[in-house]
C-alpha cells in the first residue's frame, strides 16, 4: 500500500539544465552563432533564445517548469532569456558542488540548507549589490535631455540587435529605430510615453514588407494599410478623400442545423426577388453612400465579386479585408462609426482623409494614409520568415526599453539613491560626462530638474530625471563580483554563500570571453588586472570605478537593472525547484492490498 514516488536529486536537475544550456550556449552574445532548428520540415535559423526555447519540446516535468518560467519572465522583460537559463544552471550546479551531500544526513536537511542559502542571497545580497553597482559603475544621464537620450537609445538598439543578427543588419535596424524616434518625438517626455505604449502595441510602429532587401527599409510619415485597392474607381482624387467604414454582413451565414425562413413558391418573379434580397439592400446602401459623396469604402470583411461590381457601379473605390489591428487603430484615430445596417448610412458616418496613395514596394501593394499624425517603420526583409524575425525583435526591444525606463524611474524615486552617501551623489554628478565627443552632440548641462532631484524630497514627481546605464561585455557582472569578493558592499561571512554568489556573477563574463576566443588563462589575467585597477581607483578616492583599462575598454550602454531582475527571477525559480521534494503521479491507486489474510490461523 505504499505510494509510488520518485525523489528528485539536485544533481539530476543540474544535468538536465546543462543539456538545455548546451543547446543555447553557442548563440550567446555578439559573437554567438545562429542555430538551425528543424521542426516538421520547417527550418528556423535564429540566435534568439526565446524562439529556440519555445520550439524545443521538453518532456521532463521539472525542466518544462524551468523553460516555461524563463519564457514567461522574458516575455515581460524583453531580453535575457539565455542569460536567465545560464545563471539558473550555474546557481544550481554551484549549490550542488558547494554543499556536500553526506550519506548520513537526510535529503530534506540538505534541501533546507540550500533553500536558506538562496533566500539569503535574494534578501541580503541582491539589493545591496544592485545599489552599489549603480553607485560605482553606472553612468548617469539626464532623462530630460532629448539628444542624449536618443543617442543612448540608438547605441543600445545597435547593441541589442547585434546579439540577434549580424553587424550590418543590426546597424540598419538601429538606424531605423533612431530615425523613427526622431520623427515621432521631440522631447524626452514624449519618448518615455512612446516607449511605454510600444511595449504593448508594437504593431502600430512596424509594417512588414516582404521580398525586399533590408536596406530599403525606411520610416514613413503616415499610416499603412496592408491591402491594395480591391476596386479603384477611375478618376478618383487622392486628396481629401471622403470615406466610410463598412461592416454590414455580405455573405450569407450558413449554420448547420439552424432552421430559417424559407420561401416556398413557383413564381419566377418572387424567386428572383428572393435571391436578390441581400444584393438589393447592399445596393441601396451603396447608392445612398454615393449620393452623400463617398469616394472610398473601407471594410474588414471580404467583399464577394458581386458586391465589388456594385461598388464599381456607384463609382466608389473599395479597400476590403483590412487587418483587425489596423481596423482598431483606424477606428480609434478616425473616430469612424461602422455601417452595420441600412439605416446607419447618414452624413455622420463619413470621415475625410487628407491624402491616400498607393505604396508599391517589392511584391507588396499597400495603401498609405496621411494626415493621421503617425509614423511607421517600413521593415523590409528578403523572406517573410526573416521579416517576421526582424519585427519580433523590434517588439522585444520595445519591451526591453520599457522595462529599462520603468526601472530607472522607480530607482530614482526610491529612497535607495538617497541612502547612498553624499559622495555617491556627487559621483552621480561627476560621472555625467558624455563618452562621445562634444562635436557630435551639443554639450548637455545638468538641467535644473536633475540638480533639484538630489536635494528635494524623494517623493516629488520631478525626480524622474535620470537614466542609468552600464557598458556591455559583462562589466556589471564583473563589478558585482569585485564588490562581493572585496567585501565592499556586503560582507558575507559564510564562505559557501560567498562562493556561490561569485560563481553566479562569474558565469556570464566567462562565457562571453570564451566566445571571443580568450583562453581561460587570459581571462583570469584580464580579471585580475581589472580588479587591481578598481582597487587603485578606490584608493585614489574615486567613487566612480571606471570602465576603462589601458588597452581594453568596455563599450556600449546596457540596462544595469536587467542583471538583477534576471537574478531575482533565477533565485525565485531555484527556490521553487529546491522545494520540490518528490514527484508523485496523480491518479495513482492506493487500493487494498492483494495480500491474502492468512494470519488468522495464529489467533485461533
Residues 556-575 that bind another protein (CB under 8 A): 565, 568-569, 572-573, 575
Q: Please identify which residue in 98, 122, 218, 233 interacts with another protein, judged by CB under 8 A.
A: 122
Is residue 288 close enough to count as binding another protein by CB under 8 A?
no
Is residue 337 close enough to count as binding another protein by CB under 8 A?
yes
Q: Please identify which residue in 105, 239, 352, 487 interacts with another protein, judged by CB under 8 A.
A: 105
Distance CA 246, CA 227 (A): 15
Is residue 491 close enough to count as binding another protein by CB under 8 A?
no
φ, ψ of residue 553 to 5 degrees: the values are: -145, 140
- Quick one: which of 431, 509, 427 has its CA closest to 469? 431
Cβ contact 508:477 at 8 Å: yes
Question: By C-beta, is 266 or 539 nearer to another protein?
Answer: 266
Is residue 106 close enough to count as binding another protein by CB under 8 A?
yes
Q: What's the min distance (Å) between Cβ of 287 and another protein?
A: 17
* Beta bridge mates, 210: 381
Cβ contact 408:466 at 8 Å: yes
Count of residues that bind another protein according to CB under 8 A = 84
Which residues ranging from 7 to 26 are in contact with another protein (CB under 8 A)? 8
With a CB cutoff of 8 Å and minimum separation 6, the contacts of 224 are 207, 359, 366, 367, 368, 369, 376, 378
Cβ contact 366:221 at 8 Å: no
Q: How far is CA 485 from CA 215, 327, 473, 480, 501, in A?
A: 47, 57, 20, 9, 9
Question: By C-beta, is 247 or 447 nearer to another protein?
Answer: 247
Is residue 347 close enough to count as binding another protein by CB under 8 A?
no
Is residue 415 close enough to count as binding another protein by CB under 8 A?
no
Is residue 34 close enough to count as binding another protein by CB under 8 A?
no
At residue 521, the 3 state secondary structure works out as helix
Which residues ranging from 216 to 255 are in contact with another protein (CB under 8 A)? 247, 255
Dihedral angle over CA of 81, 566, 492, 578, nearest 10: -70
With a CB cutoff of 8 Å and minimum separation 6, the contacts of 208 are 379, 381, 384, 387, 388, 390, 391
Q: Mask 503-542, x = binds another protein (CB under 8 A)? A: ----------------------------------------
Q: Mask 187-206, x = binds another protein (CB under 8 A)? A: ------------xx------
- The maximal CA–CA distance of the chain, rounded, in angstroms, is 111
Q: What's the min distance (Å) between Cβ of 13 and another protein?
A: 12
Stretch that binds another protein, among 56-64, 285-293, 375-383, 503-511 (CB under 8 A): 56-64
Q: Please identify which residue in 36, 59, 422, 457 interacts with another protein, judged by CB under 8 A.
A: 59
Q: Please identify which residue in 338, 362, 371, 434 interacts with another protein, judged by CB under 8 A.
A: 338
Q: Please identify which residue in 45, 168, 190, 274 interacts with another protein, judged by CB under 8 A.
A: 274
Cβ contact 114:107 at 8 Å: no
At residue 497, the 3 state secondary structure works out as helix
Is residue 295 close enough to count as binding another protein by CB under 8 A?
no
Question: By C-beta, is 22 or 105 nearer to another protein?
Answer: 105
Q: Which residues of 272-286 are buried (b: 16+ CB within 10 A; e: fewer)?
A: eeeeeebeeebbebb
Distance CA 275, CA 258 (A): 19
Is residue 372 close enough to count as binding another protein by CB under 8 A?
no
Question: By C-beta, is 281 or 383 nearer to another protein?
Answer: 281
Which residues ranging from 302 to 331 are in contact with another protein (CB under 8 A)? 328, 331
φ, ψ of residue 245 to 5 degrees: the values are: -110, 120
Is residue 119 close enough to count as binding another protein by CB under 8 A?
yes
Stretch that binds another protein, among 22-30, 101-109, 215-223, 313-321 (CB under 8 A): 101-109
Distance CA 87, CA 29 (A): 14
With a CB cutoff of 8 Å and minimum separation 6, the contacts of 441 are 147, 148, 151, 434
Is residue 601 close enough to count as binding another protein by CB under 8 A?
yes
Is residue 55 close enough to count as binding another protein by CB under 8 A?
no
Query: How many angstroms separate the first and last alpha carbons of the chain?
Result: 26
Is residue 39 close enough to count as binding another protein by CB under 8 A?
no
Q: What's the min distance (Å) between Cβ of 579 and another protein?
A: 4
Distance CA 120, CA 571 (A): 10
Distance CA 244, CA 268 (A): 36
Q: What's the min distance (Å) between Cβ of 39 and another protein?
A: 19
Cβ contact 166:47 at 8 Å: no
Q: What's the min distance (Å) between Cβ of 201 and another protein?
A: 11
Stretch that binds another protein, among 60-68, 493-501, 515-523, 536-544 (CB under 8 A): 60-68
Q: What's the min distance (Å) between Cβ of 55 and another protein?
A: 18
Q: Please identify which residue in 26, 61, 382, 438 interacts with another protein, judged by CB under 8 A.
A: 61
Is residue 36 close enough to count as binding another protein by CB under 8 A?
no
Question: By C-beta, is 152 or 395 nearer to another protein?
Answer: 395
Distance CA 345, CA 592 (A): 75
Burial of 180 from C-beta contacts in 10 A (0-12 / 13-18 / 19+): buried
Question: By C-beta, is 452 or 575 nearer to another protein?
Answer: 575
Q: What's the min distance (Å) between Cβ of 503 and another protein?
A: 21
Stretch that binds another protein, among 54-62, 208-216, 470-478, 528-536 (CB under 8 A): 54-62
Is residue 65 close enough to count as binding another protein by CB under 8 A?
yes
At residue 8, the 3 state secondary structure works out as coil
Q: What's the min distance (Å) between Cβ of 311 and another protein?
A: 21
Please give the grid coordinates belonging to residue 219: 520610416
Q: What's the min distance (Å) between Cβ of 399 and another protein?
A: 9
Question: By C-beta, is 40 or 106 nearer to another protein?
Answer: 106
Distance CA 39, CA 480 (A): 40
Please give the grid coordinates belonging to residue 538: 578606490
Is residue 100 close enough to count as binding another protein by CB under 8 A?
no
Please give the grid coordinates belonging to residue 244: 466610410
Is residue 262 close enough to count as binding another protein by CB under 8 A?
yes
With a CB cutoff of 8 Å and minimum separation 6, the contacts of 573 are 66, 69, 70, 88
Q: Please identify which residue in 31, 128, 490, 580 interacts with another protein, judged by CB under 8 A.
A: 580
Q: What's the min distance (Å) between Cβ of 582 and another protein?
A: 6
Cβ contact 139:468 at 8 Å: yes
Amino acid at each position: 500500500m505504499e505510494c509510488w514516488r520518485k525523489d528528485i536529486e539536485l544533481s539530476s536537475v543540474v544535468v538536465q539544465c546543462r543539456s538545455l544550456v548546451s543547446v543555447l550556449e553557442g548563440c550567446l552574445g555578439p559573437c554567438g552563432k545562429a542555430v538551425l532548428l528543424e521542426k516538421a520540415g520547417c527550418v528556423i535559423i535564429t540566435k534568439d533564445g526565446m524562439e529556440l526555447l519555445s520550439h524545443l519540446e521538453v518532456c521532463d516535468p521539472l525542466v518544462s517548469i524551468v523553460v516555461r518560467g524563463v519564457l514567461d519572465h522574458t516575455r515581460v522583460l524583453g531580453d535575457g532569456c539565455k542569460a536567465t537559463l545560464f545563471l539558473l544552471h550555474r546557481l544550481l550546479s554551484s549549490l550542488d558542488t558547494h554543499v556536500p551531500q553526506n550519506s548520513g544526513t537526510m535529503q530534506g536537511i540538505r534541501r533546507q540548507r540550500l533553500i536558506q542559502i538562496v533566500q539569503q542571497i535574494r534578501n541580503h545580497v541582491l539589493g545591496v549589490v544592485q545599489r552599489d553597482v549603480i553607485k560605482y559603475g553606472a553612468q548617469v544621464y539626464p532623462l530630460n535631455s532629448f539628444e542624449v537620450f536618443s543617442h543612448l537609445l540608438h547605441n543600445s538598439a545597435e547593441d541589442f540587435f547585434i546579439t540577434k543578427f549580424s553587424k550590418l543588419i543590426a546597424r540598419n535596424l538601429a538606424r531605423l529605430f533612431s530615425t523613427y524616434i526622431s520623427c515621432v518625438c521631440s522631447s524626452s517626455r514624449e519618448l518615455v510615453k512612446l516607449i511605454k505604449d510600444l511595449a504593448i502595441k508594437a504593431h502600430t510602429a512596424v509594417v512588414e514588407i516582404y521580398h525586399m532587401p533590408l536596406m530599403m527599409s525606411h520610416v514613413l510619415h503616415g499610416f499603412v494599410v496592408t491591402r491594395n485597392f480591391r476596386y479603384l474607381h477611375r478618376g478618383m482624387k487622392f486628396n481629401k478623400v471622403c470615406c466610410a467604414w463598412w461592416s454590414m454582413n455580405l455573405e450569407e451565414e450558413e449554420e448547420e442545423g439552424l432552421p430559417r425562413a424559407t420561401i416556398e413558391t413557383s413564381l419566377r418573379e418572387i424567386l428572383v426577388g428572393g435571391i436578390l434580397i441581400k444584393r438589393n439592400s447592399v445596393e441601396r446602401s451603396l447608392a445612398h453612400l454615393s449620393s452623400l459623396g463617398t469616394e472610398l469604402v473601407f471594410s474588414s470583411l471580404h467583399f464577394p465579386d458581386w458586391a465589388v461590381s456594385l461598388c464599381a457601379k456607384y463609382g466608389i473605390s473599395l479597400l476590403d479585408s483590412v487587418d483587425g489591428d489596423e481596423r482598431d487603430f483606424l477606428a480609434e484615430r478616425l473616430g469612424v462609426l461602422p455601417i452595420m445596417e441600412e439605416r446607419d448610412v447618414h452624413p455622420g458616418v463619413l470621415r475625410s482623409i487628407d491624402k491616400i496613395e498607393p505604396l508599391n514596394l517589392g511584391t507588396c501593394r499597400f495603401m498609405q494614409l496621411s494626415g493621421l499624425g503617425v509614423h511607421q517603420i517600413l521593415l523590409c526583409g528578403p523572406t517573410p520568415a526573416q521579416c517576421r524575425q526582424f519585427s519580433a525583435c523590434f517588439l522585444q526591444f520595445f519591451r526591453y526599453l520599457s522595462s529599462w525606463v520603468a526601472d530607472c524611474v522607480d530607482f530614482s524615486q526610491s529612497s535607495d539613491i538617497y541612502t547612498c552617501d553624499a559622495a555617491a551623489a556627487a559621483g552621480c554628478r561627476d560621472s555625467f560626462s558624455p563618452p562621445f565627443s562634444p562635436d557630435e552632440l551639443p554639450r548637455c548641462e545638468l538641467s535644473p530638474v536633475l540638480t533639484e532631484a538630489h536635494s528635494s524630497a524623494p517623493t516629488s514627481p520631478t525626480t524622474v530625471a535620470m537614466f542609468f546605464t552600464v557598458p556591455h561585455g559583462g562589466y556589471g557582472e564583473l563589478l558585482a563580483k569585485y564588490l562581493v569578493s572585496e567585501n565592499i558592499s556586503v560582507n558575507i561571512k559564510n564562505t559557501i554563500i560567498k562562493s556561490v554568489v561569485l560563481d553566479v556573477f562569474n558565469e556570464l563574463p566567462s562565457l562571453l570571453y570564451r566566445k571571443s576566443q580568450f583562453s581561460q588563462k587570459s581571462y583570469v589575467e584580464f580579471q585580475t588586472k581589472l580588479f587591481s585597477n578598481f582597487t587603485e581607483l578606490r584608493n585614489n578616492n574615486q567613487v566612480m570605478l571606471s570602465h576603462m583599462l589601458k588597452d581594453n575598454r568596455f563599450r556600449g550602454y546596457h540596462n544595469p537593472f536587467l542583471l538583477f531582475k534576471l537574478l531575482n527571477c533565477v533565485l525565485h525559480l531555484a527556490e521553487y525547484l529546491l522545494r520540490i521534494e518528490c514527484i508523485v503521479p496523480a491518479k495513482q491507486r492506493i487500493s487494498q492490498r492483494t495480500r491474502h489474510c492468512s494470519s488468522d490461523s495464529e489467533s485461533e
